[in-house]
Structure 1
Amino acid sequence: MIELIKKVDITLLQFINKKLRCKFLDKIMPYVTFLGSATFCMVFVVMTVMSKSKEIKNLGFLASLSIITSGGITHFLKRVKNRIRPYIKFPTLNIKKIGVDDYSFPSGHTTAAFSIGVSIALSFTGLAVVSIVIASLVGFSRVYLGVHYPTDVGAGVVVGTLSALCMHMIV
């Protein structure tokens, strides 16, 4: 079963990275991926926590707790798994030079995007579809850019979503 998952993972990676390649996505995916970066997360949290609106301030507080929790889990899992990034293992992948750390599993950008996206969805249900679609695009961008396997992104979705759900239930 594990071998089948690995095979599907590599096939999906190569399909997304090579077959879906186009100039439009080449231009926008580095910007989309930025929405899961540490810089974006910090700006999002500061902007929401500083808001005069109690609801937006609460969103910032929930999102920050989720980002901290999911970030800690992600960092731990990266050090335990030590999964080499796909562009290193498969040098024929199309990649863009973007900032990455050493290990691939799980996707930290996807984790952060889902921490924020699910926090928004739980706090402002009218924005749920938009926030989840944007978070999903961040995950897609990581595979498109050749820096993550689809399973890295899937794990990031789970960690980010569960962190946001837990913070929403606790706070």
Structure 2
Amino acid sequence: MKNPFKLFDNLFINLINKKMNNKFFSFLFYYITNLGGPFFLIGLVIVLILLGNNMRSLGIEIALALGVSTIVVQILKRTFSRNRPYWILENLNTYGIDLRDYSFPSGHSAASFSVCTIIALNFPAFSLLIMFVAILVAVSRIYLAVHYPTDVLAGIIIGIVSSLIVHYKLYPFLSLYFQNKF
């Protein structure tokens, strides 16, 4: 029996990386992928914290969710050591990106869905917009051939679950603890 994950990955990496390939998507995904990267996200957290009040709380909650999801992603990357698609598959559109770490799971997808989930839980009116952006970041990882679709799906799950744990358990506990200390 053939591996269903491999069939899924091959189907969607061919669809997204090869068949969707055009100048508009190449430009869009090459730049939008950075919204799930560390420079943008650290900057976002700093700006939110500096804004104060509700934004400060949101920034701290996002930072916690990113921390949890990043730890999980890094443990899994080192455990599975899955090679990136462009290291293995031929004839992919690679866009000159050369990463040295492993593929599974997608850290950008986990990070973008961590942020998306925290914002959606705190500001439901922005849910659809922020979800759209997170989906674009996730799809960009496949389009740019740096992740398999299963890497991205795992990252999405990690991001959502990490944020739910932070929002409903960790952040309330820490808020209560620090409120009583000061």
Q: For this structure pair, what is the TM-score category when the shorter chain's length is used for normalisation?
A: over 0.9
1:10-159 aligned within 5 A = 10-52=10-52, 54-98=53-97, 100-159=99-158
One-letter amino acid of the structure 1 residue matched with residue 81 of structure 2? N
Q: Deviations over 1:62-113 (max 9, x none)?
A: 1000000000000000000000000110131001123634200000001110
CA RMSD of aligned residues (A): 1.2
Maintained 8 Å contact 1:30/1:98: no
Percent identical among aligned pairs is 38
Q: Report the 3-state secondary structure (helix = DSSP H, G, I; strand = E; otherwise coil) of the residue aligned with 1:93.
A: coil
What is the alpha-carbon distance in structure 2 between the residues aligned to residue 69 and residue 154 of structure 1? Answer: 17
One-letter amino acid of the structure 2 residue matched with residue 147 of structure 1? V
What is the alpha-carbon distance in structure 1 between the residues aligned to residue 98 and residue 65 of structure 2? Answer: 23
Over alpha carbons, which structure has the higher Rg?
Answer: 2
Q: How many residues align?
A: 170
Q: Report the 3-state secondary structure (helix = DSSP H, G, I; strand = E; otherwise coil) of the residue aligned with 2:97.
A: coil
Relative to structure 1, the CA distance from residue 44 to residue 101 in structure 2 (aligned partners, 3 Å threshold; closer, same or farther) is: farther
What is the alpha-carbon distance in structure 1 between the residues aligned to residue 18 and residue 162 of structure 2? Answer: 32
What runs of 5+ residues in structure 1 fail to find an aligned partner? none
What runs of 5+ residues in structure 2 fail to find an aligned partner? 172-182
Following TM superposition, where does structure 1 have runs of at least 4 consecutive aligned residues deviating by more than 4 angstroms?
none
What is the alpha-carbon distance in structure 1 between the residues aligned to residue 124 and residue 4 of structure 2? Answer: 37
Relative to structure 1, the CA distance from residue 133 to residue 99 in structure 2 (aligned partners, 3 Å threshold; closer, same or farther) is: farther
